[in-house]
């Protein structure tokens, strides 16, 4: 079991992109708890002990959502550079509206040799999250009708072998969105309940193996016309667990314990999730009241063949683990 690394001093960053973004923003805020707590909005959900345990892991920092991580939402320069480099490297044609037309595929596995911008983003993510990166991918979504089904990451890429012969696997997934806004949907496999992370231009998501084991994730279709989107994905293993990559959540500003104190630690987060379990009558005052509750916006169409009915729910049956993002 790796321990949480102390972070008494600000790191000296090597990535110029990371230096620039932290210079602009000051600090990255993990807003995952704001999104994930919506899954517990109903009395039935709060009475599900397994769900509360698994959401507790999300609240404890095992999922990350950072807005405006690599750029501001309205700043399309990184998106434009990435698109120009891909067109130059692959000979892809430009379609109406600036969309790329590839003749064969719209996924690049480990495309480190074709885009300096891609490399810069991966280097920033690896440094900030303290990762040994084992594999990368560039996905291209032409429009809102292109989607990815709900799935678990397979953690199939091996890293280094320890002196005892143990083969270390990746334990962390991280991604960046560039271009049109989409949604990253998480579905609790045991209960079928769900929450999502918005993915706007520049936004970052990440999660640990613990979240990957209990939640599927995917990118639903959207019914309204939208532009194209790149997602840059990296899988790796954390060198040390710290507050940036799963040691604890960065922002619990609106989640409170029963006694009114703020959630500050991993143990606090798990306790808060358990305190949401109320088997009293419907008239009893809830023990924890996160306010205001965020409602999951399901208007972006989760009606793909692996997923939802018209009500937006997703089957809780076990999905085969495969690597789609």
DSSP classification of residue 123: H
Which residues are CB-contacts of 79 (< 8 A; sequence separation ≥ 6)?
A: 178, 179, 201, 230
Instruction: Give the pLDDT confidence score for residue 178 in this predicted structure.
Output: 98
Q: Has residue 9 got a pLDDT over 70?
A: no
Q: Has residue 241 got a pLDDT over 80?
A: yes
**Six token digits for residue 58:** 């999300």
Average pLDDT, the chain: 79
**Six token digits for residue 297:** 């916006």
Instruction: Give the pLDDT confidence score for residue 91 in this predicted structure.
Output: 84
316 CA to centre of own chain: 20
pLDDT in tens, 69-109: 999 999 999 999 999 999 999 888 877 677 777 655 588 88
Residue 128 to residue 120: CA distance in whole angstroms: 12
Instruction: Give the pLDDT confidence score for residue 318 in this predicted structure.
Output: 45
* 318-325: average pLDDT: 47
Q: Has residue 1 got a pLDDT over 80?
A: no
Instruction: Give the pLDDT confidence score for residue 165 in this predicted structure.
Output: 78
Instruction: Give the pLDDT confidence score for residue 268 in this predicted structure.
Output: 58
Q: Which helix (H) or strand (E) holds 213?
A: helix 209-214
Residue 229 to residue 78: CA distance in whole angstroms: 12
Cβ pair 141, 231 in contact under 8 A: yes
DSSP classification of residue 68: T
Residue 240 to residue 248: CA distance in whole angstroms: 13
Name the more confident of 230 and 292.
Answer: 230
CB atoms within 10 A of CB 134: 20
Task: For domain 21-42+60-238, give the CATH number.
Answer: 2.60.120.590
Residue 124's pLDDT band (cuts 50, 70, 90): very high
* 175-202: average pLDDT: 98
* 137-161: average pLDDT: 85
Residue 297's pLDDT band (cuts 50, 70, 90): very low
Residue 301's pLDDT band (cuts 50, 70, 90): very low
Instruction: Give the pLDDT confidence score for residue 248 in this predicted structure.
Output: 66
Residue 250 to residue 18: CA distance in whole angstroms: 18
As a whole-number percent, the residues of the chain with pLDDT over 70 amount to 70
Give yes or no for a cis peptide into 292 (omega within 30° of 0): yes
Q: What is the DSSP string of 259-312?
A: TSPBP-SHHHHHHHHHHT---S-TTSPPS---SSPPPP--TT---STTSB-TTS
* CA neighbor of 196 nearest in space, from 292, 301, 82: 301
As a whole-number percent, the residues of the chain with pLDDT over 90 amount to 58
Name the more confident of 298 and 205.
Answer: 205
pLDDT in tens, 262-296: 555 545 555 665 555 443 333 333 444 443 433 33
Instruction: Give the pLDDT confidence score for residue 203 in this predicted structure.
Output: 99
User: Per mean pLDDT, which range of 74-83, 109-118, 153-162 is the poorest?
Assistant: 153-162
């Amino acid at each position: 079991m790796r321990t949480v690394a102390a972070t008494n001093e600000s790191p000296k960053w090597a990535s110029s992109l990371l230096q620039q973004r932290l210079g602009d923003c000051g600090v990255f805020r993990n807003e995952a708890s704001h999104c994930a707590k919506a899954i517990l909005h109903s009395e039935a959900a709060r009475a599900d002990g397994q769900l509360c345990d698994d959401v507790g892991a999300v609240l404890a920092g095992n999922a990350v959502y950072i807005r405006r991580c690599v750029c501001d939402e309205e700043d399309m320069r990184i998106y434009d550079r990435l698109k120009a480099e891909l067109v130059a490297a692959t000979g892809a044609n430009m379609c109406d509206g600036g969309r790329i037309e590839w003749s064969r595929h719209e996924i690049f596995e480990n495309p480190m040799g074709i885009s300096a911008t891609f490399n810069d983003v991966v280097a920033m993510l690896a440094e900030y999250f303290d990762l040994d990166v084992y594999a990368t991918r560039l996905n291209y979504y032409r429009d809102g009708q292109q989607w990815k089904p709900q799935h678990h990451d397979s953690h199939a890429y091996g890293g280094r072998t320890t002196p005892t012969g143990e083969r270390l696997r990746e334990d962390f997934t991280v991604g960046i969105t560039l271009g049109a806004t989409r949604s990253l949907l998480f579905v609790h496999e045991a209960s079928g309940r769900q929450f999502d992370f918005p993915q706007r231009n520049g936004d970052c998501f990440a999660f640990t193996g613990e979240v990957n084991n209990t939640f599927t994730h995917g990118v639903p279709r959207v019914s309204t016309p939208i532009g194209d989107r790149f997602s840059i994905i990296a899988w790796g293993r954390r060198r040390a667990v710290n507050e940036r990559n799963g040691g604890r959540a960065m922002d619990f500003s609106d989640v409170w314990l029963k006694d009114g104190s703020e959630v500050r630690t991993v143990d606090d987060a798990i306790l808060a999730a358990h305190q949401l379990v109320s088997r009293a009558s419907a008239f009893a005052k809830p023990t924890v009241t996160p306010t205001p509750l965020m409602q999951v916006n399901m208007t972006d169409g989760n009606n793909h063949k692996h997923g939802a009915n018209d009500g937006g729910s997703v089957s809780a049956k076990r999905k085969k683990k495969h690597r789609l993002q």
